Chains A and B, each alone.
Chain A
Amino acid sequence: MEALIPFTTSGSLVDLVDKKVLVILRDGRKIIGVFRSYDQFANFLMESVVERLYHKMEYADRDIGILLVRGENVVAVGEIDLIAEDLIPLREISVENIMTRITEDNTKRDKDQIIKENVLREYGFVSEGREGDAY
């Protein structure tokens, strides 16, 4: 059991119960929902969950429902300030629209990345990871 003790900091999650929270997963996804319960491994349950997709100053929400997240996969959990939330100057658009924009951006970036890496390799640089690869 000694090996489990480092995980006891999940106790600080008690303040988030029944609050609206934003969760960032290790794969880069942003999850918004009501935080319901958690355990010593920071596995937790969320209700009324949506996945929020961002593209520049636009966003879209994809309905998920109830989510049980294994604690290992979480980068950060934070309470959402309900008042400040309304002041965010983002515009909601449909999931389909945002997906086409995101994929367009991704394909363009991937293409650019390959070109950049090829140039850098000639100068003896090794390619680095992208954002999100660190965790």
Chain B
Amino acid sequence: MLPLTLLNAAQGKPMLVELKNGVTFNGHLVECDNFMNVTLREVYQTSADGERFWKMKEVFIKGNIIKYFRIADAILDSAFEQQEKNRAAAKTRGQSARGGRGGPAQRGARGGPPARGTPSGRGRGTGPPGRARGRGQ
């Protein structure tokens, strides 16, 4: 599982973010994006020397000033299970719909309106723009 995939899966979960300057933020992840920008809720901020603390309702942290995230052990397991479940679901859906490749949306689908009742059901996917491509880790 890619690092940012785990971060996405950790939404709503508690974590610790340390910035490059040593300041740390403890809180629940609300949202994150591919730049590693994050928003946290119910946050305890600790100064770099570890001697001063602040409590805040919500903070936004720009991705490029982050050093690392500490994430609870359980989250890796649950994220992995969720990923397996999604993969299995996508597989069965793909099979029942049109048999393998070219199924709607979730795999390899690119552009164009959903073509319902295509006679052959083969070829490149024609669903709405899906997330598609890559190894889906």
Count B-side interface residues using an 8 Å CB cutoff. 22
Cα–Cα, bound, A45→B68 (Å):
10
Q: Which of B1-24 contact A (CB under 8 A)?
A: 1-4, 6-7, 20, 22
Chain A, interface size category, equals 20 to 34
Q: Which of A46-78 contact B (CB under 8 A)?
A: 47, 64-70, 72-73
Number of A-B contacts (CB under 8 A): 57
Q: Residues of A contacting B1 with CB < 8 Å?
A: 36-37, 45
Cα–Cα, bound, A128→B76 (Å):
44
Q: Residues of B contacting A47 with CB < 8 Å?
A: 76
B70 touches A37 (CB 8 A): no
A73 touches B68 (CB 8 A): yes
Q: Residues of A contacting B4 with CB < 8 Å?
A: 39, 43
**Taking CB as reference atom, which chain B residue is nearest A31?**
B68
**Taking CB as reference atom, which chain A residue is nearest B76?**
A66
Q: Residues of B contacting A38 with CB < 8 Å?
A: 2-3
New A-B contacts (13) at CB < 8 Å, excluding given A37-B137, A38-B2, A39-B4: A25-B68, A37-B1, A37-B2, A47-B76, A64-B70, A65-B70, A66-B70, A67-B70, A67-B71, A68-B3, A68-B69, A68-B71, A72-B64
